[in-house]
Structure formats: C-alpha cells, structure tokens
Amino acid sequence: MGNLYDDAGEARPEPSGDARLPGPHRERTFAAMPPAHGRGFAQTWWGLAWLQALADSALDGQQVKQGRRHARAGAVGAVSVRPGRITAVVKDRDGTPCRCDVLLQELSEADWDRFLDLVADRAGHIAALLDHDMPPHLVEDAAAAGIELLPGIGDLEAECDCGAWDHCSHTAALCHQTARLLDEDPFVLLLMRGRSEQELLADLQARTAMRAREVNEQLSAGAGAVEPAAAEGIPAAEAYAARDILPPLPAPPPAVDEPGTAPVLGGGTDPAPGVDVTALEFLAGDTAARAQRLLADALAPGHADTPPQTALTRAQDAVRLAAREPDARIVARLASGSGRTARALSLAVRAWEYGGVSALAVLEEEWTPDPAALARATAQLADAWEADEPQPQLRHDRNRWTMAGGGAQLRFGRDGRWWPYLKERGQWAPAGPAAEDPAAALAAVRGGEEEAG
C-alpha cells in the first residue's frame, strides 16, 4: 500500500485522485474514543451481530482478543467511515502506528431500490430509522427481500500495513471500535453499505410524497364509483398516505396522569363467606394502575409497531402482585396460590425487580444450552478477563457456573445474558440485574460477597 506515514509516524492523507474517495456527505469521521475499561463494546443487538461477524470471519481468535485489548486501551485513532470501507490508525503497545481498513461490500442500486421501497411501505420502519434504531423486523424484512444489511461470515475483509493477509490485531481493534459507533448510530452501517443518512432520508421523503400523490390521483379519479373489491378495504399504507383527504379519525382518548382511586368495599355489611375484602381492594387498585399504564403505552409514539406482550401465567402474575408489597395476609395467599413457600416467593420477587419475566425464569428454570449456545457462553467466559487478570475457577453444570468455594454463581439466560447469584441461607438468591459481559456480572456478585462479609 506504500508509505502512508510521515517522519513523525502520523497518517498521510490519501491522494485526492483516489477513486475510492466518496462525494459530499458520503464520508464521516469520528474522533478517537476513550478507553473502554469495564464495559462491553456493543449493547445493541446489531452491534453484537457486527462483533459476531468479526469472530466468524477471523481465522485467528488470538488476534481478535489482542485487538479487543488494543481497543480497550484506546489505541484506535479517529475512524473514517465511507461506502464499502472503514479506516483508522491503530497503535501497537510500543506506539508503532498501522493504517488499517475493513471492507464491507456495498449494496447494489437494485438492492437499495428494494430496501427503500420496503422502508417507505411501513411508517414504523421510517420512524425507527429517524430515531436511530434498527428494529429486528426491519432487518428481517430486508433479508426476506434478498438484502443482507448486517455482515455475515466472511463479509468483513481486512487490509493492514502490518502485512497480515487475514484479520490482525489492528483490524480487530478497528472492528471493536466500530461496534461502539454502530451502537450509537445504525446509519454508520448503512453508510458502509453505500448510502449516507442525508441521501437515504431524502430518497424516502421523495418516495413517500410520490406515493401520496398517486393515491390522491387514484381516489380523485374513482370518486363516485366504488369497485366491489373496495368494500374489503384498502392497504393501510395507502390509507396512511391519503390521510389528508380522508375523513378524520376520532381523537385519541386523553392521557391519564394517575390511576383511579380503588373503591373502599367495607360499608358496615359483612362480606359473603370466603370473600377477602382487603384482597379485593388490593386487586381493584392494581387493575386501575395497570389500566392507566396500558393507556399510556397505547398513546406513546411507535406503539403500533410494538409487538404485544405475552400474557403472564398465574405463577408469574402472583410474583408481580407480590412485588407491589401488599400486606402479609395477601402475600401468604399469593405464595400458596402459586405453589411457592414464603421464602421462594420472596426470592421470586427479588428476581422480578431485577429483570421481570426473564429474571424470574433464570431463578426458577434449570436448562441445558444447546451446543451452539454453550460454545458461545464458554467463549464469552474465556474472553471476559484480560491475560494479566486472575480468572476465577468456575464449575459448570447445565446453564450455571459456580465459583470455587460455592458462594457465588453465574447463570446463563436463554437471552444470552449473565445473571449474578449469591448463596443465602443455603439457597441461591438473585444478586443483581443481567449483564452482557460475564465479568461485569461476576463483579456484582463479588461486591455482594464483600458486603455480606
């Protein structure tokens, strides 16, 4: 690639005639980020998918680990992103700079045309992009149309001054730093695939306006003549596009700031046998609070694109109700009705407060990960600690890893996250919320051990 550094070791700019240089608005440069000690490089699902593509593409896992250490130490300089390529200077531990590039194939014009059409067809896709979000159903819709937005195995190609023909520690460091950028802005990925944010949004605006005009013309031309098929309705996208000429919808109900006050059922008349007035008043108050929360969710932006929540089982709902801290008699009934002891319900409430249904499942379910999930979990554990850090001794049983000495435990959830546990009075008790990084989860456990000590 030639000498890209001056005598001071700084990167030289590429020649202005390089055909790879993009036009206006098609290159973004991000300043060097500070070290990333004590946190993962990706929190979003698309950032994690990017790092998985690196792991699947690199032939040498040790280079990936070394690259992660470079990135953690802040060795990656400013990152330049443009169609098909990301570039940065990465310094070795001795300070030697290496210019490295990671290449990702751009989408074809036909691919972009199909992608923009499917985004324009769904208002939820447009709203998500405007909110700098990349919902899974957008990527799934694109994949169904033959468009792969996220990189897969072998899609991330590497070039580096160090002479490596595969991913080296420098390109691996650049990929880890890029995951942090993707977390903050998925338009970084779309720019690598060939379109800047300005280009993409301008194209979407033009397509949406054109579709609205077409619908207006069709409705104007067909006024007074209704085809038989029209009685079955028209696509929602067309109705939304023609909203300015259709009769207005009823106004949404007003927001309710506070739930209604539960009624007081005692009135001097004795209740029927078996009727617990206190429990009924508690349930009425809970119902009012849930109704207020459901209405707030329904009025929130993006609600139409949010999948409905799975209904709770009776056992799960008993924990939710107990978490509202009713009086002791109601808690006892909830424990008995859900088949739990008082201690088991107390632990379930603690798990619920850390993470709802997911945390409750981790507490009460013991399962064996399939070989692929087990391999990922084992790799995460192996990579969680730096080479110069002491690694804890962990004993593995199904989805649980117990520290030597038996006082602390990590549980691997079905969602791929790690949950910390401590032994209390002979039982495993939730010790904190989930973490993507097992080392971070274990740090919470150790902190709990120190407080208990």
Q: Averaged over 329-354, what is the pLDDT?
A: 94
pLDDT for position 39: 66
Q: Which of 72-81, 114-123, 126-135, 214-223 has the lowest mean pLDDT?
A: 214-223
Indicate the SS3 state at residue 220.
helix
At residue 222 the predicted structure's pLDDT band, cuts being 50, 70 and 90, is low
Edge-to-edge strands of the sheet including 418-424?
394-397, 400-403, 408-412, 418-424, 427-430
pLDDT for position 13: 36
Q: Averaged over 369-389, what is the pLDDT?
A: 81
- Inter-helix orientation angle 45-57/61-72, to 10°: 140
E strand map for 228-285: none
pLDDT for position 226: 42
pLDDT for position 249: 62
- How far is Cα 27 from Cα 146, in angstroms, rounded to an integer? 26
Q: Which of 202-206, 270-274, 354-358 has the lowest mean pLDDT?
A: 270-274
DSSP class of residue 263 equals: P
pLDDT in tens, 298-333: 888 887 778 878 889 999 999 999 999 888 999 999
- Residues near 20 by Cβ (< 8 Å), separated by ≥ 6? 14, 82, 84, 85
Q: Averaged over 31-47, what is the pLDDT?
A: 80
pLDDT in tens, 411-451: 999 988 999 999 998 899 999 999 888 888 888 776 545 44
Is the entire prediction scored with pTM above 0.95? no
pLDDT in tens, 401-422: 998 876 889 999 998 899 999 9
Residue 245 pLDDT greater than 80, yes or no:
no
pLDDT for position 142: 86
At residue 361 the predicted structure's pLDDT band, cuts being 50, 70 and 90, is very high
CA distance readout (Å), 391 to 30, 73, 410: 34, 20, 14
- By C-alpha distance, which of 372, 385, 357 is closest to 416? 372
Residue of higher predicted confidence among 229 and 233: 233
pLDDT for position 19: 32
Residue ranges covered by each domain of the chain: 28-201, 277-300+311-363, 368-452
User: Is-contact 147 125, C-beta < 8 A?
Assistant: no
pLDDT for position 6: 37
Residue 227 pLDDT greater than 90, yes or no:
no
pLDDT in tens, 52-107: 889 888 888 899 999 988 998 889 999 999 999 999 999 988 889 999 999 999 99
- How far is Cα 316 from Cα 359, in angstroms, rounded to an integer? 11
- How far is Cα 405 from Cα 387, in angstroms, rounded to an integer? 23
User: Is-contact 423 430, C-beta < 8 A?
Assistant: no
DSSP class of residue 100 equals: E
Indicate the SS3 state at residue 157.
strand
Mean pLDDT value across the chain: 81
Number of other residues whose CB lies within 10 A of the CB of residue 202: 13
pLDDT in tens, 150-170: 898 889 999 999 988 889 999
Q: Averaged over 131-139, what is the pLDDT?
A: 81
